[in-house]
Amino acid sequence: MEEIIRRVAKESQRIQEGFIRKNTSQLIDCAEYISKAFQNDRKLMLCGNGGSAADAQHIAAEFVIKFILERHPLPAMALTTDTSIITSVANDYSYEEVFSKQIQALGVEGDILLAISTSGNSRNILSAIRTAKEKGLYAVGLIGGDGGKMLTLVDLPLVVESNETPRVQETHILAGHIICELVEYILF
C-alpha cells in the first residue's frame, strides 16, 4: 500500500507539472477573461458530470465565498446543483440538454462558461458549449486526454494530457485553484 501511495503521488505530480508547463499563459488568459467579465457585471457559469460536477460546484463556491482574500462575493454559479431543473430537462427533453437549457435561460453575452470534462466528449457538455457560443459567452474547457471534441469547440482549452480520470481531476482542481487565486490577484 505504501508503494501505491508513492506511485500515485509521483504520477499526479508529474502530470500537474506538465500541465502547468504547457498551460501557464492559458491560465493567465483565463483569469484575465474571468476578471474582465466580473468587472463588466457578468458571471461565470460552470458545468461538468460526476467528479467534474463536484469540481464545478467547488470552484463556483471559491468565487462566491472567497478563495484566499477577504473580499466581496463574485458571481459564479454551478449549473450542476438544481436537481429540479436537471431532472425535468432530462425527463422532458434529454440529458444532453441539462446544461444548455440553463445557459439559454441565464446566460448573457459576455458571461464565461467553464466546462469541465475528463474526456472532452460528454454530449451534455458539448451541447452546453454550443449554446454558450450561440449566446455570446466565452467558453473555457478544462479537459483531459487529447481534448476530445471540446478541443475545437471552446475558445480556450486547458488540457491535462492524461487518460487516467483521477489524475485529470486532481489537475483540474489545481487549475481551478490557480485561476481563483489569479482572479483575486487581478481584482483585489
The CATH number covering residue 6 comes to 3.40.50.10490
Would you state the pLDDT for residue 17?
98
Q: What is the overall mean pLDDT for the chain?
A: 97
Check: pTM over 0.85? Answer yes or no.
yes
Q: Give the CA distances from residue 164 to residues 13, 41, 60, 117, 145, in Å, rounded to whole numbers and listed in that order.
A: 13, 37, 24, 12, 8
* pLDDT of 149: 98
What is the arithmetic mean of pLDDT over 64-76?
96
pLDDT of residue 186: 98
Mean pLDDT for the stretch of residues 59-67: 97
Domain with 21, as residue range(s), is 2-187
Number of domains present in the structure of the chain: 1
Position of cell 469541465? 116
**Tell me, what's the pLDDT at 173?**
98
Q: What is the DSSP letter of 97?
A: G
Residue 115, SS3 per DSSP:
strand
pLDDT digits (tens, 9 = 90+) for 17-51: 999 999 999 999 999 999 999 999 999 999 999 99
- The amino acid at residue 168 is V
**In this predicted structure, what is the pLDDT of residue 33?**
98
Which pLDDT belongs to residue 101? 98
pLDDT on residue 77: 98
* Residues 115 and 142 sit within 8 Å (Cβ to Cβ): yes
Please report, rounded to a whole number, the percentage of residues in the chain having pLDDT higher than 90. Answer: 100
pLDDT of 90-130, one tens digit each? 999 999 999 999 999 999 999 999 999 999 999 999 999 99
Residue 9 has a pLDDT of 96
Distance CA 23, CA 130 (A): 23
> How large is the average pLDDT for residues 127-149?
98
pLDDT band at 182 (very low <50, low <70, confident <90, very high): very high
